[in-house]
Amino acid sequence: MATTTLTETRVPLTPPLQFKIALVTGASRGIGRAIARELADRGATVVINFRNSVGPAEELRQEIEHNGGEAHLLRGDVSNRLEARRLVRDLLDIYGRLDILVNNAGITRDRSIRRMSDEEWAEVIETNLNSIFYCCSAAIPAMVDQMYGRIINIASFSGQAGNFGQANYAASKGGIIAFTKVLALELAKYNITANVVAPGFTATDMLSAIPGDILDQIRSRIPLRRFAQPEEIARAAAFLICDGDYITGQQININGGLYM
């Protein structure tokens, strides 16, 4: 009897984010960089925003293109309302649409409330929280026209649990969580979802501002006994974007069990 050989014809999978345009703020370093890379790997055209670090941003653009992806650099200080809105306008001029907005840019200026200056308070609120309002308000009209949008706002466990010396930072991150719920409510009818990714301590330049002995103390308080890698945060953001069509107004905590 003749035997038939079963030959599988493998149809190449279409990358889930093919033809999608993504803006990641603060993508030159750390978590934003990992998110930009992850979205590019999944087929999105990624706009890498940064404020100062043109070298690392350009290096990331080249890496993405080397791997067959598409990326574009747009410098802009998102804490400045004119620059933030110009950033989104420039992106729309280039691509004509914006599908994915990841509001990631953030800073710390840690000090106890008794010693914190008005400038340290304001700089953190402007960079971490006001920037998100500026970028969202500029992006939403295009997303509404498209009847599609995925917004990810990067908060922190500090905005959920509080953290000593971080009144400005915790207030900005708690504000992001509340703002995201309103975004989700107001935009759901346009098929736009908005969610928060809330990292715990993550191995980036942001942690390098903390002295080594304090880092050891922090690590010992984390149930999983280690800091997150930026790629672990990026995969959660990508999950919400690629597979989260029915998820909106939620927070995904990636903190090794630090806050439950």
Phi/psi of residue 32, each to 5°?
A: -60, -40
The span from the CA of 79 to the CA of 178, in Å, is: 19
The span from the CA of 130 to the CA of 171, in Å, is: 12
Q: Which is nearer to ligand NAP, 197 or 242 (CB)?
A: 197
Q: Which is nearer to ligand NAP, 52 or 117 (CB)?
A: 52
Which positions touch ligand NAP (CB under 6 A)? 25-26, 28-32, 49-53, 77-79, 104-107, 127, 154, 156, 199, 201-202, 204-207
DSSP lists the bridge partners of residue 195 as 152
Comparing CA positions, the residue from 96, 188, 179, 112 lying closest to residue 148 is: 188
Catalytic residue among 95, 134, 148, 169: 169
Query: Minimal distance in Å, beta carbon 87 to ligand NAP?
Result: 9
Query: Minimal distance in Å, beta carbon 188 to ligand NAP?
Result: 24
Query: Minimal distance in Å, beta carbon 78 to ligand NAP?
Result: 4
Q: Which is nearer to ligand NAP, 144 or 210 (CB)?
A: 210
Distances (CA, A) of 191 to 140, 245, 247: 11, 9, 11
Query: Minimal distance in Å, beta carbon 57 to ligand NAP?
Result: 7
Q: Which is nearer to ligand NAP, 148 or 239 (CB)?
A: 239
Query: Minimal distance in Å, beta carbon 10 to ligand NAP?
Result: 37
DSSP lists the bridge partners of residue 152 as 102, 195
Q: Which is nearer to ligand NAP, 190 or 259 (CB)?
A: 259
**Tokens matching residue 23:** 């803006």
The span from the CA of 27 to the CA of 11, in Å, is: 33
Burial of residue 221 (CB within 10 Å: 0-12, 13-18, 19+) is: exposed
The span from the CA of 186 to the CA of 247, in Å, is: 14
Active site residue 134: no
The set of catalytic residues is 169
